Structure 1
């Protein structure tokens, strides 16, 4: 995601600059007398940071254009581990953002294997800590954090290689600097800034923000905090200090709000290390703001909210009347295909299962991700001028597919297939194949099994295999019912289950607030 620009937006920003720019420091401004704020140079400093931030932007599509052995899910796993190590050493927020930037920039330039991915993350954190921190982890400590999978010599050699690939450019102007500058418009309100930090931290897990300007991320987080805390409008002062108009921030604020909601209401979909970090930041924001977080003038303990109950009841009635089930066509498909729906109430991960001789075929997919991706794709299709523009757009490829996982178990062993489901024509594409040591490793929810799955070798990128082997694997999957009919059913069932889960959620909420 990147900010939109137009002549009107440019004029509005120029108007804000004309209104608030002062060639000399204001003697009535406290910052003028604080030598650490260098008020006389602040405008030039931040203009420079805005000018150079594009220099440090990674390729938004380095997966899969550069990296054929690494997926966005692998990146999420690595970032989750980095968050935990970052927390273990009590490092600065700037170190975390620089680490993520170094990883993404390095991967935009140099293809690596999945087996070296954790080494890449460890080295990036090591470099970032030395750049930002007063007391940084030692190379021995970093080796310990990777369970001594790599020696100190290998870490130092990899560090030299990464720095060389990045042309020794470490001066990424992270979002924290821009957040502090934008906070001046709020007189450095700690509540707004603390909540904004929370929204900023969530962005590191979202692939849509890989190449987003840090100044825009900071402004979007500030804007959303301002609105959520009911602290007024986005003024010309905000536009001047942030460099962005309200029109440019609404799209990113919507995505940030949605991501924050997922952390709160869908913790199973977010990595544990990231949840821990985010909750610590969010709790400080909530505690500092107290009851004013809620736009209700009087809240008394143990008093149910009649208004909330009524609204929930009304919404529940509406959704029940508007609810829908599986079409008869898809019920017939289930009967003919042999697939059965595994009942997973109040879960976003759906499962289909099918017996095929000695084989048991499991199909897993996230209904929330599929329905959200389908919605995003429709919105994108409406924005494009014509079909040719749509098909040629780089964003189309990212929006037009959703992940599906297939596990086939037989005689205590299992093979997993990572698939991409086209939301346009319901076809599947194979991205990776993993041979698990046992069906328990492939299917168990235990931490040990999850760790074993993460460490399992998933083979080379599927499109690097011989054409004959690719075709044989695809024919094998089709013979097991992994075809476009299944793809069509998954899209239909995802909508039905998401609607069912929403109604169930409303009912639980209504019961709680009665």
Structure 2
């Protein structure tokens, strides 16, 4: 599949804590519902004039404020240690635009420009779908502190380009439990077709041969590709960082969403 299609087919990621946070949010919402005091009819009429046209605006604003307060208290004010260490010690540079669900990591290696893209777009839906499994995992972890942390797969797309040649090498892979599992490796003679994140480029990629399934390659060839990636910093350290950052970004975006929606309702 193409780099862009791989991103749009994100299955989900992150660790057991994602399901735990989803459970916490659910409990918090139930608690908020119990705490919210019904608004008197006279208050509604006043609030409707102040907050817009709807009689329900005041209650919705109150509920959003409660949820926002809870999530802010649950979110560390300072940059997490894992992110600080990554910025300090990793050769990868992080490109993350607030409000967007895609995250990009870039680095140079010799004469190569390397880019990694992943998305948090379907993260929340996967959390909810796997909620029960996450509860079971949390119970097992409580009983056995040494139990391995389970994480859901996050689809990633790598691209490699060189200024000395117009081609581009792209790799679609799954990131899970500290490793990248390669799906396929594609080569495009036109680097722009292989790397541009536009609808036009994606349409052009659909007609190209995307390469064989990685697991069908000769074992010795697979091993050499693994060495090729490891030498460029595509290793377990990066594979652990990606889902952890996806979780961190999802929480930030959720808090921002609550704030923006409440401000719009109150306007």
Deviations 1:59-81 (CA, angstroms, capped at 9, x unpaired): xxxxxxxxxx9xxx68x99xxxx
Q: Which residue of 53, 66, 69 corresponds with 1:303?
A: 53
Q: Which residue of 334, 354, 358 corresponds with 2:107?
A: 354
Find the residue that maps to 2:184 and give its secondary structure: strand
Cα distance in 2 for partners of 1:375, 1:354 equals 34
Cα offset, 1:408, TM superposition = 1.4
Deviations 1:115-171 (CA, angstroms, capped at 9, x unpaired): xxxxxxxxxxxxxxxxxxxxxxxxxxxxxxxxxxxxxxxxxxxxxxxxxxxxxxxxx
1:364 aligns with 2:117: yes
Deviations 1:247-285 (CA, angstroms, capped at 9, x unpaired): xxxxxxxxxxxxxxxxxxxxxxxxxxxxxxxxxxxxxxx
Aligned to 2:16: none
Q: 1:465 to 1:369 in 2, by over 3 A?
A: same
Cα distance in 2 for partners of 1:429, 1:326 equals 29
Unaligned runs of 5+ in 2: 12-43, 142-149
Find the residue that maps to 1:342 and give its secondary structure: strand
Q: Which residue of 189, 199, 208 corresponds with 1:437?
A: 189
1:318 aligns with 2:78: no
Unaligned runs of 5+ in 1: 1-68, 78-205, 207-296, 388-396
8 A contact 1:361–1:407 mirrored in 2: yes
- TM-score relative to the length of structure 1: 0.37
Find the residue that maps to 2:234 and give its secondary structure: coil
Cα distance in 2 for partners of 1:353, 1:480 equals 11
Cα distance in 2 for partners of 1:496, 1:328 equals 12
Aligned residues: 212
Q: 1:311 to 1:372 in 2, by over 3 A?
A: same
Cα distance in 1 for partners of 2:221, 2:123 equals 29
Cα offset, 1:364, TM superposition = 1.0
Cα distance in 2 for partners of 1:311, 1:508 equals 14
Aligned to 2:90: 337
Q: Which residue of 125, 150, 158 corresponds with 1:406?
A: 158
Cα distance in 2 for partners of 1:335, 1:344 equals 20
Which residues of 2 match residues 8-157 of structure 1 at below 5 A? none
RMSD over aligned CA atoms reads 3.3
State which structure, 1 or 2, has the greater radius of gyration over its C-alpha atoms: 1
- TM-score relative to the length of structure 2: 0.68
1 or 2 for the larger relative contact order (CA 8 Å, sep ≥6)? 2
Cα distance in 1 for partners of 2:65, 2:140 equals 42
Q: Which has the higher helix share?
A: 1
Q: 1:468 to 1:370 in 2, by over 3 A?
A: farther
Q: Which has the higher strand share?
A: 2
Find the residue that maps to 1:308 and give its secondary structure: helix
Aligned to 1:488: 240
